Structure 1
Amino acid sequence: MNTFLQELSKKAAERWAAVLLGPGLLFVACVLVGRHQGFTRALDLAHLRAYVRSVSTDKAYQEPAGLVMAASVVLLGAAVAGLVASSAGGLVERLWLPAGPDWYVNLLVRWREWRWSRKEQAYRTVEAEARQELVRNRRRGIDTHSRSTELRRLLSRRNAYSERLPDQPTWMAQRMAGATARVEKRYRMDLAEIWPHIWSVADGQVRDDIQGVRDTLTGAGRTAAWGGGLLGVAAVTFWWPAAALGVVLLVTGHRRGRVAIDTLVPLIESAVDLYLREAARRMGVPCPYTFSPAVADRVTRVLRVQASDT
């Protein structure tokens, strides 16, 4: 038992160091360098070397007590920055998958509707022009240059944004809502209600796969949070390389988040397909062949009774 606890503590420490302390040290370094370099000497390596030399030759840092104190302050700052970034990562996830407030959600939905409508209008305009050109050239007996490539490109751009008129505030929220809608259409079940039961009966490998993607999404939010922190450093110190690095981390985090959601959605749907009947049986609802609407109604009643009892 002691060996198990020691290994568990070792893995937790390694994970903490890799996820929080390492980026935290980089953040502290950016703060120190940015404070010294500023805007005008952002890339002045000679100025930076002189600063490092002055610190290394300072007698206060050559004594063991001073060295230990400086290292402790740096490590403490890195740890605090890591904890703040971890908490801010959760906030970033809520921005990617917002549930409120209503004014914020509605504003984003209207913005996405407007952008989708522009892409849809561009596609419909080219489609109408191509059709008119085809009819006109047929009357004249002239070969028509195919615009199918352009139409496919415009359609792909529209569908990459959203396959239908958006009703969710972000692309990630739209993808998750799509999974909910497909489960509702296929099984007449509310995904939010049935998911805890699916999760409880799912195979260990399936749960590991879903949890791994979920951890990737958490890491993406944390990466974006580090990017936001570096933008804050740039705003305070005017050291523009921190802003450049912050933008890179923001974009990287957002793209990783989109990839994670794009992977998570089919995993969730496949888990529902595989384990919905088993979850129904565990709740005492016979499901011998297919998950019929009658079975869905009985499962829903069981879930509603459980919710009312709690």
Structure 2
Amino acid sequence: MTAFLSTIGDRLAERWISLLAIPGLIYLTALTAALTLGHQHWHDIGRLRARLDALAVDPGTHSPGAIAVSAVAVLAGAAAIGAFVQAVGTWIETVWVAGSHNLVTRRLTARRRRRWLAADSAYRTALVAAGRATIAEADDAGRLTEEAELRYAARERISLVLPHQPFWTGDRITAPEHRVRRAYQLDLAAAWPHLWLLASDGARAELTSARSSLMSAARLEAWSAAYLLLGALWWPAAVVGLLTAATAATRVRAAAASFADLTEALTDLYGKDLASALGIPCEGPLTRELGEAMTRALTKDPG
């Protein structure tokens, strides 16, 4: 038990250092540079060095007690900044997947729906034209087919399904729920806890990793906002914030797509196992009839 608690303590310490202390210390360093240099002397390293030398020769800095208190204060400040930014990251993640609950989010959702419907109409028109040209063996059949593929890709960039969320991330994460409902008539929200229990350790580990990547991307987005705010005092921090925001945006899309794809894949792979576990006869692939039967069993709907 002592060894177990020691191992847990080491892991918590490592996690505290990696998530809170180190990013917080880096931000405190940037804050010190911002307060010392400002916009006017943004690149004056000599000015920063002189400030550090002045602190070093201060008699109070040679006291062991003062050094210890300063070290604890710096670490506590770094941890506090890290914890605050992590909380902001959690809030950002919540906003990403939030539904249309107020006027602003409803308008954002409506705007995304209009864009998706326009892209869908353009894709269907191009698809019909390509189909007719292919049947008629027209010379431009290849070009029209390529045009239809481009229209399809443009629609998919907006959302895989008709948007129900104000932001792309929310629609991408919830897309499996709508796709599974459309394909199998299975209520994924009701089935998910059962599918999770039936999944293998490897499948759950992959999903957990994808979920962690999404959380990390949200934290990175929060850090980008922190550096953008610091840019009001020292403009190089704003550059760091913009680069961090661009990196976070890329990671968010990759993590959300990975998590959604793995969720849908787990449903496809373990749907039949769930039917068997519920005592529902299942032979062959998943069907809409089988999905409806599982949904009734999972939602305790006698009808």
| 1:241 correspondence with 2:236 | yes
- CA drift of 1:39 comes to 1.4
- Provide the C-alpha distance between the structure 1 equivalents of 2:293 and 2:112, rounded to a whole number of angstroms: 38
Q: Match for residue 206 of structure 1? A: 203
- Provide the C-alpha distance between the structure 1 equivalents of 2:119 and 2:66, rounded to a whole number of angstroms: 62
User: Equivalent residue of 1:305, what SS?
Assistant: coil
- Provide the C-alpha distance between the structure 2 equivalents of 1:122 and 1:278, rounded to a whole number of angstroms: 40
| 1:189 correspondence with 2:179 | no
TM-score (norm 1): 0.82
Q: Which amino acid aligns with 2:214?
A: L
Aligned mate of 1:224, from 218, 221, 226: 221
Q: Match for residue 280 of structure 1? A: 275
Q: Is the 8 A contact 2:161 2:175 kept in 1?
A: no
Q: Which amino acid aligns with 1:13?
A: A
State the superposition RMSD in angstroms.
Answer: 3.2
Q: Which amino acid aligns with 1:86?
A: Q
Aligned mate of 1:289, from 249, 262, 283: 283
Q: Match for residue 54 of structure 1? A: 54
Aligned length in residues = 292
1:53-111 deviations in Å (ceiling 9; x for gaps) = 11222221122111111111110011111111111111111222122433232121233
- Provide the C-alpha distance between the structure 2 equivalents of 1:176 and 1:111, rounded to a whole number of angstroms: 19
Superposed, which structure 2 residues align to 1:146-165 within 5 Å?
156-162=153-159
Q: Match for residue 176 of structure 1? A: 173
1:14-54 deviations in Å (ceiling 9; x for gaps) = 12211221101111112222112111111211111111211
- Provide the C-alpha distance between the structure 2 equivalents of 1:292 and 1:120, rounded to a whole number of angstroms: 26
User: Equivalent residue of 1:302, what SS?
Assistant: helix
**Structure 1 stretches lacking a partner, 5+ long:** 132-142
Q: Which amino acid aligns with 2:33?
A: V
- CA drift of 1:186 comes to 2.0
- CA drift of 1:247 comes to 1.8
User: Equivalent residue of 1:98, what SS?
Assistant: coil
- Provide the C-alpha distance between the structure 1 equivalents of 2:165 and 2:100, rounded to a whole number of angstroms: 11
Q: Which amino acid aligns with 1:9?
A: G
| 1:87 correspondence with 2:108 | no
Q: Is the 8 A contact 1:277 1:287 kept in 2?
A: no
**Structure 2 stretches lacking a partner, 5+ long:** 131-139
Q: Is the 8 A contact 1:123 1:154 kept in 2?
A: yes
TM-score (norm 2): 0.84
- Provide the C-alpha distance between the structure 2 equivalents of 1:29 and 1:91, rounded to a whole number of angstroms: 25
